[in-house]
Amino acid sequence: MFKRSCRWWGSSVLTGILLLAAAPGARASILGVSAQVGTPGVGGTVWFPVAGSFADVRLGFNTFTLNHTINSGGNAYALHAVLRNAPLLVDWYPFGFGFHLTGGVVYNGNHVDYAAEPQNGMYVINGTPYPASTVGTLSGTVTYPHISPYLGVGFGDPFSGVLPVFFTADFGAFYQRTPSVTLVSSNGGNPALNSQLAAEAGRIRSDMGRYRWYPVISFGIGIGF
């Protein structure tokens, strides 16, 4: 019974010390840096404490490239996707440390360059087959408005004072809205073809518009100074 009480008392004291170390007044770190990988790409983040509150501000940057081929509207498209985004976020720790609620904005430089690959010497543009010799090359881009709001939750606190090394996890999404889509032919002097290209670009834009929320799942490791 005595040993059990000692273990309980020791555990309680240790918990109290950790909680006190995580209190705002005990936050010795004045800067945190971390590296992360996830759906926004691979990148790094700088963390800044907000004095006198259970909060911090962080600025990050992520990038990644991906090549892929998809079929859409009767065409095969070779995609070159570039993830390039910079989140500016505020974390609030409702329980003092660790778990946080996050809000902010993301500079969204994500974009996709794509080129159609003719099938049997033909392209399909707005449902109409065209000889590749008439169209030439067929290519376009998908871009998004540069400022996107972000909401999420996560875990990780470089200013807790418990350990200098910390782990991070973020789960959320940023609202990138409907993209701008271009689709052009290298033989672009035909008004009828240009009208069909505009209609096909509108179809692609409508399809891409279903992905207005970009999911964020990210994990990282960092150190507080």
**For the ranges 91-100, 163-172, 175-184, which has the lowest average pLDDT?**
91-100
Task: Confirm whether pTM is higher than 0.85.
Answer: no
CATH code: domain 2-224 is 2.40.160.170
3-state secondary structure of 201: helix
Q: What percent of the chain has pLDDT over 90?
A: 59
CA 88 to chain centre: 12
Round the CA-based radius of gyration of the chain to a whole number and report it: 25
**Per-residue pLDDT band at 27 (split at 50, 70, 90):** low
The domain limits of the chain are: 2-224
What CA–CA distance (Å, rounded) separates 62 from 110? Answer: 10
What CA–CA distance (Å, rounded) separates 221 from 117? Answer: 42
What pLDDT, in 10s, does the model give residues 53-92? 689 999 999 999 999 999 888 889 999 999 999 999 999 9
What pLDDT, in 10s, does the model give residues 120-171? 899 999 989 999 988 999 999 999 999 999 999 999 988 877 778 999 999 9
For the chain, the first-to-last Cα distance in angstroms comes to 43
Residue 99 has pLDDT above 90, yes or no: yes
Which token pair is 143?
Answer: 């871009």
**Per-residue pLDDT band at 28 (split at 50, 70, 90):** low
What is the 3 state secondary structure string of 18-39?
HHHHCCHHHCCCCCEEEEEEEC
What are the backbone dihedrals phi and psi of residue 153, each rounded to the nearest 5 degrees, phi first? Answer: -130, 165
pLDDT score for 52? 66
What CA–CA distance (Å, rounded) separates 105 from 173? Answer: 11
How far lies 114's CA from each of 50, 84, 108, in Å? 43, 17, 19
Residue 107 has pLDDT above 90, yes or no: yes
The whole-chain average pLDDT of the chain stands at 85
- Alpha-carbon torsion (158, 160, 165, 170), positive or negative: negative
Task: Tell me whether residue 130 is exposed, middle or buried, using C-beta atoms within 10 angstroms of its C-beta: 0 to 12, 13 to 18, 19 or more.
Answer: buried
Q: CB of 105 within 8 A of CB of 148? A: yes
What CA–CA distance (Å, rounded) separates 179 from 138? Answer: 19
